[in-house]
Amino acid sequence: MSHDNPMRMRENAILRVTSKGLIPYILLFALYVQFHGDFGPGGGFQAGVIFAAGFVLYGIIFGLDAIQRLIPPIMVERGAALGVVIYGGVGVVCLLLGGNFLDYNVLSAHEPMHGQHLGILLVELGVGLTVASAMTAAFYYFSARAR
């Protein structure tokens, strides 16, 4: 029956239809929060959490197998590590370009402020990737226990 569904909500038609309609907008909102964090409230951390909430909602309603077909566990495991690598990598690139660790000014040859923009965008991307992957991984591993 629903032995692979951790919260046994798969049978409810209302939940299925509303969540199917909502999830694209949750992910779209997460993208907005991710890339608009320089201008409005939010940033990588919040965006990552919203991304994960969208994935987890899908997992709760349609089952762990359905979400793991889209995002295999190995992807969240590597994503969590890749985010830290992106963040640290930006710092190392700054070092190689002659600046201090995470001193984004040197990322642009002409205008320090452009370097700052690029640096913030990239490190926020790293934060978002790690947070989204870590939260999704936590859900995966908890749900797998419920079987």
Partner 1 sequence: MVSFELLLFLLLVATAVAIVRMRDLFAAAMLTGIFSLVSAGLFTLMDAVDVAFTEASVGAGISTILFLGTLALTDRRENQQPWRVMPFLVVGLTGAALLYGTADMPAYGDPNAPVNNDITKEYIEGTEHKVGIPNVVTAVLASYRGYDTFGETTVIFTAAIGVMLLLGGRRSREEDDEDDASTGPRSEEGEE
Residues in contact with partner 1 by the rule CB under 8 A: 3-4, 6-8, 33, 37-46, 49-50, 52-53, 56-57, 60, 64-65, 68-69, 72-74, 77, 80-81, 83-84, 87-88, 91, 101-102, 104, 112-113, 116-117, 119-120, 123-124, 126-127, 130-131, 133-135, 137-139, 141-147
3-state secondary structure of 9: coil
Nearer to partner 1, 13 or 127 (CB): 127
In whole angstroms, what separates CA 16 from the centre of its chain? Answer: 23
Token look-up 């349609």 returns: 62
In whole angstroms, the minimum distance from the beta carbon of 16 to partner 1 comes to: 17
Instruction: Give the DSSP letter string of 16-45.
Output: HHHHHHHHHHHHHHHHHHHHSTTTSS--HH
In whole angstroms, the minimum distance from the beta carbon of 30 to partner 1 comes to: 9
Nearer to partner 1, 16 or 73 (CB): 73
- For residues 116 and 48, what is the distance between their CA atoms, to the nearest angstrom? 21
In whole angstroms, the minimum distance from the beta carbon of 17 to partner 1 comes to: 19
The H-assigned helical ranges of 36-102 are: 44-62, 64-70, 73-96
The number of beta carbons lying within 10 Å of the beta carbon of residue 1 is: 7
In whole angstroms, the minimum distance from the beta carbon of 27 to partner 1 comes to: 13
